[in-house]
């Protein structure tokens, strides 16, 4: 166990596994956030009933209450080990290098800028948590009020999360921040996804090209999905 935490390959393994776990979270997060679009498309933008029901489900489900601290731990592990590995690599090879991936002259831009992209995503995330999470969890006051929405065949009451998100996306600078954050996320994932599988050991000649394709698809779905939601909320809803 101590080897896992201290050896360079153990640390890369932890970074890769925590990264893949975070990607899984992002897919669930994107599915929930896509209800913001469905509410608009199906004419529920006054009540935001689909998104509010989804948020209510996530907020009241006991499993999610366990997953939430695990998610926080995943972020911490991923960030700490990416910093440790990057600085070890700088010390060993000078500041031109980065801990993940073999460097060749033709290596793509994203792989050389993983730390910068990670820092941009972290900055975005800090604002994002202040925008939504801190308000929904009652750390920052907001004027959303409660609404009723259909929930598994009955009516439930909960916070008007739709109004919070919709109101937040009325600001152009905020929308630009979300677009920049999502694009940085897309580039980070375009390299990070296949690189994580390579670290785990899934790096044979057949699967590496396939994983690189899948990485691009994951990056486009997640980065593009969050971008479209933020822009659609600003422009149409």
Residues in contact with ligand HEM by CB under 6 A are 26, 29, 33, 55, 58-59, 121, 125, 128, 132-133, 136-137, 161, 165, 178, 181-182, 185, 226, 229-230
Query: Considering the complex, what minimum distance in angstroms separates the CB of residue 44 from ligand HEM?
Result: 16
Buried b (16+ CB within 10 A) or exposed e, 150-168: ebeeeebebbbbbbbbbeb
When the beta carbons of 53 and 230 are compared against ligand HEM, the nearer one is 230
Distance in Å, CB of 221 to ligand HEM, minimum = 12
Q: Which is nearer to ligand HEM, 16 or 168 (CB)?
A: 168
Structure tokens belonging to residue 226 = 């969050």
Q: Running DSSP on this structure, what letter comes out for residue 110?
A: H
Report, in Å, the least distance between residue 3 CB and ligand HEM: 30
Question: C-beta of 106: minimal distance to ligand HEM in Å?
Answer: 28
Residue at token pair 């080897």: 3
Q: How far is the CB of 229 from ligand HEM (least distance, A)?
A: 4
Nearer to ligand HEM, 33 or 86 (CB): 33
Alpha-carbon distance 99 to 86, whole Å? 5
Nearer to ligand HEM, 12 or 188 (CB): 188
Q: For 66-71, which contacts have Cβ atoms below 8 Å and span 24 or more sequence positions?
A: 71/21, 71/22, 71/25
- Give the C-alpha separation, 194 to 30, whole Å: 20
**What DSSP string describes 45-61?**
TTT-HHHHHHHHHHHH-
Virtual CA dihedral for 191, 37, 70, 203, nearest 10 degrees? Answer: -20
Tokens (6 digits) for 218: 């994951």
Nearer to ligand HEM, 85 or 117 (CB): 117
> Of 19 and 89, which CB lies nearer to ligand HEM in the complex structure?
19
């Amino acid at each position: 166990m101590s080897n896992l935490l201290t050896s360079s390959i153990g640390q890369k393994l932890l970074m890769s596994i925590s990264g893949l776990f975070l990607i899984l979270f992002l897919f669930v997060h994107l599915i929930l956030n896509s209800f913001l679009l469905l509410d608009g498309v199906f004419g529920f933008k006054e009540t935001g009933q689909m998104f509010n029901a989804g948020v209510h489900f996530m907020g009241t489900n006991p499993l999610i209450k366990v997953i939430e601290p695990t998610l926080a731990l995943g972020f911490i592990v991923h960030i700490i080990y990416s910093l440790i590995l990057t600085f070890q690599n700088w010390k060993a090879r000078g500041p031109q290098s980065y801990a993940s991936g073999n460097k060749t002259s033709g290596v793509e831009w994203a792989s050389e800028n993983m730390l910068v992209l990670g820092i941009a995503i972290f900055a975005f995330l800090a604002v994002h948590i202040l925008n939504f999470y801190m308000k929904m969890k009652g750390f920052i006051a907001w004027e959303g009020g409660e609404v009723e929405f259909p929930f598994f065949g009955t009516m439930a009451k909960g916070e008007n999360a739709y109004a919070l998100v919709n109101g937040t996306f009325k600001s152009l600078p905020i929308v630009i921040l979300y677009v920049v954050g999502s694009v940085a996320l897309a580039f980070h994932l375009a390299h990070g996804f296949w690189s994580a599988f390579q670290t785990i050991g899934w790096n044979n000649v057949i699967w590496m090209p396939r994983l690189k394709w899948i990485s691009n698809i994951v990056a486009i779905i997640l980065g593009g999905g969050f971008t479209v939601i933020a822009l659609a909320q600003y422009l149409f809803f």
